[in-house]
Structure 1
Amino acid sequence: MSTDPGRGDPPAPQYYRPGPSSGTYPQYPQNPFPQGWTPGTAPGPYPQQPAPAGPQWNTAGAGGSGPPAGLGGTPPATAPRPRQLVLGLILLLAAALPFVLMGVAAMVTPVDESILDQAGIPRAELDALMAQAGMSFEQLAQMVRVMGAIFLALALVYAVLAVVAFRGAGGARLALAVLTGVYGLPLLLMMAPTLPLFAVLVLAVAAFGLVQLYSRPAKEWYAARKVGAAQRSG
């Protein structure tokens, strides 16, 4: 036994006492010395394991690969808008533009004798029609302004729906189809006696633009936007 007061005797090994569930296996003593400690010196700390490094993504160079999908980085870009949608928007706006101009002209232009002469409407026939309907000339002028306001409102709604459908709203595309069928055919029948070529041309342009919105590339683009919106909301 050492008599040096600065150096104490190492502690005696401690043995586990065999318990009821230990069976017949011998109990091994605990190691009272830290790893690498020499008796008589101050025990050193146990070696610490370095923290594991996080995943490293190879982003150098054009051939490098970024982080896997869903683990950060730049979000995936949206699908490009097909050219059929661009063409459809142009055609639908072109079909609505004449009615915007007609509506504005009917609202701001006064109805008088000169307008009737320019339109080629005989005054005698017009007076006979107004007499049958019990309508005065002032009432006719007011009705023209009201019809112009209706044409302008419908044309603006049609143009706005075309822009909204172009931006990806499927409901606006359906509303355009309904408006084209509900108002397009009556308009064709109403304008056919006086402006048949114009009526057919406007309706054909609107119908062809609507077909572009329902083409296969456009349908796939709408479906992709719907799936992306569902994933972002989920």
Structure 2
Amino acid sequence: MGVSNDPGQQGPPQYYRPGPSSGAYPQYPQNPYPQGWTPGMQPAPYPQQAPDQAGQAGQAPQWNTAGGWGPAPSGGGKVVRPRQVLTGLILLIAATVPFLVMGITTMFLTVDDALLDESGIPRDQLDQAMAQAGITMDQLTQLFRVMGGIFLVLALVYAALAVVAFLGRPGARLTVAILTGVYGLPLLLIMASSLPLFAVLVVAVASAGVVMLYSRPANEWYASRKVGAAQRPA
């Protein structure tokens, strides 16, 4: 003989604490007979637990590094370019301005007697040096123009690398730092006797720009771009 479904033959109904449970445990079933039971009444089905909007029952909340407990914020937690990167770009561009002006001016320079007299170099020593080297006035002019072109190209390359580093390329940032050290020390040695203040100022401005690019906010921004590029589908 099977078990009867008549609640009268199963003893008094079991009552449970109503209301949802706390934590990750399922909700307790509520009293199926809040108004009492009468013979012949079919047992009422227990209410089912509604799905949790934040996740299924039994799952612990997840931690995200951007906002703490809860789902990750929209946008993937993208880090905004810090102001240190912009400041570094401005300083690096400012350090190239004197060389841009010098290069453009020298490329259109014509060496003549008046220019040599204004240079402050004793004319007899200059004439003797040119005679020993076999250089004429026209050749000296061409030499100055070539040097001006070299200054201009190097300044443009340095400025272009600074812009690329500003756009988030860590390789360009490293190259700018290396070039600052490679060209900064010779510049100080060459201009130490003639223009020491100018050399120190240019190297200091460029070095400050590199420091800005390697500051903590800038490093976090470059790291976030690297992680984002790695997670981007091919």
TM-score, normalization by structure 1: 0.65
Q: Quick check: 2:91–2:209 contact (8 Å CA) kept in 1?
A: yes
Query: 1:104 maps to what in 2?
Result: 104
Match status 1:229 vs 2:229: yes
After superposition, the C-alpha distances for 1:111-163 in whole angstroms (9 at most, x for unaligned) are: 22222233333322221222333322222111110100000000000000000
Match status 1:197 vs 2:197: yes
Query: Aligned to 1:168, what secondary structure does the other structure show?
Result: coil
Cα RMSD of the aligned pairs, angstroms, is 2.4
Residues 79 and 112 (structure 1 numbering): CA distance in 2 closer, same or farther, change over 3 Å?
Answer: same
Within 1, Cα distance between the matches of 2:125 and 2:91? 38
Query: 2:48 maps to what in 1?
Result: none
Q: Aligned ranges for residues 26-175 of structure 1 at < 5 Å?
A: 75-76=75-76, 78-175=78-175
Within 2, Cα distance between the matches of 1:128 and 1:216? 56
1:133 counterpart letter in structure 2: A
Within 1, Cα distance between the matches of 2:104 and 2:188? 20
1:117 counterpart letter in structure 2: D
Query: How many equivalent pairs are there?
Result: 168
TM-score, normalization by structure 2: 0.65
Within 1, Cα distance between the matches of 2:150 and 2:78? 38
Q: Between Structure 1 and Structure 2, whose CA radius of gyration is higher?
A: 1
Q: Which runs of 5+ in 1 are unaligned?
A: 1-55, 58-67
Query: 1:207 maps to what in 2?
Result: 207
Within 2, Cα distance between the matches of 1:167 and 1:140? 41
In percent, how many aligned pairs have the same letter?
Answer: 64
How far did residue 77 of structure 1 move? 6.3
Q: Which runs of 5+ in 2 are unaligned?
A: 1-52, 55-70
Residues 175 and 81 (structure 1 numbering): CA distance in 2 closer, same or farther, change over 3 Å?
Answer: same
Query: Aligned to 2:111, what secondary structure does the other structure show?
Result: coil
Within 1, Cα distance between the matches of 2:199 and 2:75? 48
Task: Point out 4+ residue stretches in structure 1 off by more than 4 angstroms.
Answer: none
How far did residue 100 of structure 1 move? 0.5
Q: Which moved more, 1:109-118 or 1:201-210?
A: 109-118
2:147 counterpart letter in structure 1: M
Within 2, Cα distance between the matches of 1:132 and 1:233? 66
Query: Aligned to 1:233, what secondary structure does the other structure show?
Result: coil
Within 1, Cα distance between the matches of 2:200 and 2:180? 13
